[in-house]
Amino acid sequence: MSAPLAFINARLLDPATGLDTEGGTVLVVDGKIAAAGADVRPDKGATTIDCRGHCLAPGLVDMRVFLGEPGFEEKETLASAGRAAAAGGITTLVGQPQTDPVMDEPALLSFIMRRAFDTCAVNVVSMAAITKGLEGKEMTEMGLLAEAGAVAFTDGVKAVADAQVMRRALSYATGWNLLVVQHAEEPSLARGGAMNEGEVASRLGLKGIPAVAEVMLLERDLRLAELTGARYHAACLSTGEAVAAMRRAKDRGVRATCGVAAHHFALNENEVGEYRTFAKVTPPLRSEEDRAAVVAAIADGTVDVIVSDHSPQDQESKRQPFPTAEPGIAGLQTLLPLALELVHGKHVRLLDLLAKMTINPARMLGLPSGRLAKGAPADLVLFDLDVPWRISEAGLRSKSKNTPFDGRPVQGRVLRTVVGGETVFDFAAGAA
C-alpha cells in the first residue's frame, strides 16, 4: 500500500456533480480517490501537493485517437502517444481500429491492451471495427469483441456506406447496448476530394469535399438509429447542417450523440493557405460559417464530446502535393489549450467544456473515470487556466509532429497529470 496523497489548495472542478470550489482537497489512497471537497483534510502522514489555487479536474478522456500500434510504429507508438497524452492532461486514450492488422479480432484487442499496460503512461482502451477489415461488407463478431474489452465499434475514418450493413450493426448493437460510432461522410461524394468544397478550393485548383456529404450520411444514420433504437455516435461533425440535423434528432428522442475535433472549431478552410498539408484533415476544415455553427453547437449542448482526433503522420506522408498528402493532425497536447479558447472567449462555461472531455465520454463508453468521486480512479489533471504561452512543434512529444498550430498563442497550460495516483507528467520538473 502506498502512502496517501493529498492535493491541497486547488480549485476543484467536477463536471459530473457541478462542483466548482476554491481551496479544495483531493485525497488519494492506493490509486483511488478517497475524498474530494472543500472540507476534506489530509490524512496524517499523507504526502501533500500544493496546487496553489490552480484548477484540478478529472483527467481528460480522448475518445478518438490513432495510436500507431500495430503496423504504423513509424508514425506513433503507444509509448510516444502516452508521453504526449500525459503532457496534454489526457489520462485515457480511446484507440481506433485502423491498425495493421485491423482491430477486428478479440485476440488482437487483448494483445494491444496488454501492450498498452506495459508501455503507455496513461490508460488505453480501444474501439473495435464494425466490419471485417474495415471493408464495409461483413460485420465483425461484435459480442465477442465487447467481451474482449472493446468499448465501442467504428470503422475509423471509413464510413459504413451500405445502409443495410449499418442497419444490421445497429440492430445487433441494440441487444448488447453497444455504441456504434460513424465517420459521417458519404464516400462517393468525398472520393478524391482534398479539402472543403467552395471558393478556396476552386482558387487553389483542388477537388473539394462538399458539406452535403456529411449531413447526407448522418441523416441516413439518424433514421436507422431511430428505427433500431440503437446508441449511435457521430465521431467528428464539422458542418452547420450536420449539427443542426443532430439537434433535430435529439429533439425527437433519438439515442444519438456527437463529437467534434478541436481543429474544427479552432480553424477554418483558410488555414490551407498555399497548400499547407498540415491543415489537411478528414473531415476537412470547413467554412467560417460552419466553424461558427460548431462553436454554437458546443455552447448549446448539441455537441456531447470534444476530441483531439489525433492522427500523427510522418514527414514523408505530409511532404507531398496537397491532393496526395495524408490527412491528420497530432492533437494530444493541443486539445486542452484549444478547448479553453472557448472559455476565454465566453462561448461556454468551464465546467460545461470539461464535461465534454471527461464525464461525457466516460459515461458513453462505460468507463469508471471522468469524475472526482470516492472510489473513482485517481486520474487527474492540474492546469493553470490563465497562463499565456505559444504552442511549439518542437515541444510536441508525439513521434510525429504534424501540427498547424506551431506558434499559435493560447491561454491555459497543463501543470501535472496523474494516472492511478502516480504523476506521469510534471511541468515544473520538465519531464514525465
Q: Give pLDDT tens digits for 239-297.
A: 999 999 999 999 999 999 999 999 999 999 999 999 999 999 999 999 999 999 999 99
CA distances for 166 relative to 113, 215, 217, 225, 252, angstroms: 27, 16, 11, 9, 21
Q: Which of 386, 311, 367 is nearest to 357 (CA)?
A: 367
Residue 306 · residue 262 · CB < 8 Å: yes
Q: Which of 91, 96, 95, 69 is nearest to 80 (CA)?
A: 69
Asked whether residue 176 carries a pLDDT value surpassing 80, the answer given is yes
Residues 6+ apart with CB under 8 A from 210: 189, 193, 197
DSSP symbols for 309-373: -B----HHHHSS-TTTSPP-B--TTTHHHHHHHHHHTTSS-HHHHHHTTTHHHHHHHT-S-SS--
Q: Tell me if 5-56+377-429 shares its fold with 59-365.
A: no
Q: Which residue pairs from 134-140 have beta carbons closer than 8 angstroms and sit at least 24 positions apart in sequence?
A: 134/97, 134/98, 134/102, 134/104, 134/158, 136/160, 136/161, 136/162, 136/165, 137/162, 137/165, 139/165, 139/168, 139/169, 139/172, 140/104
Active site residue 309: yes
What is the average pLDDT value for the chain, to the nearest integer?
A: 96
- pLDDT score for 432: 42
- List alpha helices for 211-279, DSSP H: 212-228, 240-251, 262-266
Q: How far apart are CA 134 and CA 112, in angstroms?
A: 18
Helix axis angle, 163-176 relative to 212-228, nearest 10°? Answer: 40
pLDDT tens digits along 357-394:
999 999 999 999 999 999 999 999 999 999 999 999 99
Q: What is the mean pLDDT of residues 187-201?
A: 97
Q: What is the mean pLDDT of residues 200-223?
A: 98
Q: Which residues pair with 48 in a beta bridge?
A: 6
Q: Which residue has the cell 501537493?
A: 49
Q: Which of 19, 26, 37 is nearest to 4 (CA)?
A: 26
Q: Which residues pair with 258 in a beta bridge?
A: 234
Percent of the chain with pLDDT strictly greater than 90: 97
User: 266-275: buried (b, 16+ CB within 10 Å) or exposed (e) per residue?
Assistant: bbbbebbeeb
pLDDT tens digits along 298-311:
999 999 999 999 99
Asked whether residue 19 carries a pLDDT value surpassing 50, the answer given is yes
Q: What is the mean pLDDT of residues 161-188?
A: 97
DSSP 8-state symbol, 245: H
- pLDDT score for 1: 58
Percent of the chain with pLDDT strictly greater than 70: 99
Asked whether residue 431 carries a pLDDT value surpassing 80, the answer given is no
Asked whether residue 2 carries a pLDDT value surpassing 90, the answer given is no
Q: Which of 14, 309, 379, 426 is catalytic?
A: 309
Phi, psi of 197 (to 5 degrees): -70, 135
Grid coordinates of 189: 461524394
Q: What is the mean pLDDT of residues 313-328?
A: 96
Q: What is the mean pLDDT of residues 4-29?
A: 97
The secondary structure element, H or E, covering residue 206 is none
- pLDDT score for 419: 98
Asked whether residue 10 carries a pLDDT value surpassing 70, the answer given is yes
Q: What is the mean pLDDT of residues 183-190?
A: 98
Q: Which residue has the cell 429533439?
A: 251
Q: Which of 301, 376, 306, 333 is nearest to 62 (CA)?
A: 306
Angle in degrees, CA 219, 228, 191, rounded to 5:
35
CATH class of 59-365: alpha beta
Instruction: Say yes or no: domain 5-56+377-429 is CATH 2.30.40.10.
Output: yes
Task: Tell me: cis bond preceding 70? Omega within 30 of 0 counts.
Answer: yes
Asked whether residue 126 carries a pLDDT value surpassing 50, the answer given is yes
pLDDT tens digits along 321-353:
999 999 999 999 999 999 999 999 999 999 999
Which sequence spans correspond to the domains of the chain? 5-56+377-429, 59-365
Does this model's pTM top 0.85? My answer is yes
* 42-46, 125-129, 153-157: segment of lowest average pLDDT: 42-46
Indicate the burial class of 137 (C-beta count within 10 angstroms; 0-12, 13-18, 19 or more).
exposed
- pLDDT score for 420: 97
Number of CB atoms found within 10 A of residue 42's CB:
17
Residue 136 · residue 155 · CB < 8 Å: yes
DSSP symbols for 95-136: E-S-SSS-S-SHHHHHHHHHHHHHH-SSEEEE-B-SBGGG-S
Does residue 63 sit in helix, strand or coil? Answer: strand
CA distances for 393 relative to 80, 276, 277, 399, 405, angstroms: 15, 15, 15, 11, 8
Residue 96 · residue 393 · CB < 8 Å: no
Asked whether residue 404 carries a pLDDT value surpassing 70, the answer given is yes
